[in-house]
Amino acid sequence: MIVGGLLLALIVVVEYPILRRSRAYREHARRVCCASNLRQIGLCVRMYRNDYDDRLPPGRSLQDLVGEQWSGRPIIIRGRRRYKFVPRVPGPLFAYSRNAVIHFCPSDPANGNRNQFPYPGISYRWDRTLGGKLVSELDEGWRTKLLWERQAWHNGGMNIGYLDGHVSWQP
């Protein structure tokens, strides 16, 4: 009995630092995935700009850009349950970003059940003053912030997507 207790205590002492580090690694992986999502949305904006003579898509929010009133329908892909989102009112970016998963931050606490989302884009914010403007009209040019997270979920910081396509983490 005593040997079992000592053995258990030894295992806990040895494994605890490993578990703490793995939690930090998981959060780092979620932050990288979130940055990838913002980069993909930024690429959708860039493709739209290329098609519309360097004009940013019109819209006051990311929901306006992708489409409003989305409904999720579960589908099974390779044994995993996925949701196929279909907008009732497609936005200007819908033709460029049909993957609704990129609109969710993996660290967003509401991300666990995507059925509760009325539409994608709720994890990220879009600068509402940029809708429909030409890139040449912007004061900051390529340093203009396009997208950012709704809250600072990543260790007190957030990812920010810029007009030139890069994404950075800001504390």
Give the predicted TM-score (pTM) of the model.
0.76
How high does pLDDT run on average in the chain?
78
Distance CA 60, CA 116 (A): 22
Q: How confident is the model over 106-112, as a mean pLDDT?
A: 74
Distance CA 45, CA 78 (A): 30
Task: Kindly indicate the confidence band of residue 121, based on its pLDDT and cuts at 50, 70 and 90.
Answer: very low
Beta partners for residue 83, in sequence order: 74
The pLDDT value given to residue 115: 47
Q: Is it the case that residue 20 has pLDDT exceeding 50? A: yes
The pLDDT value given to residue 65: 82
CA nearest neighbour of 101 among 131, 72, 68, 65: 72
Structure tokens at 83: 């949701």
The pLDDT value given to residue 140: 82
The pLDDT value given to residue 49: 93
Dihedral over alpha carbons 91, 93, 95, 97 (to 10 degrees): -120
pLDDT digits (tens, 9 = 90+) for 147-157: 998 888 888 89
Distance CA 33, CA 30 (A): 5
Q: Which amino acid is at 47?
A: M
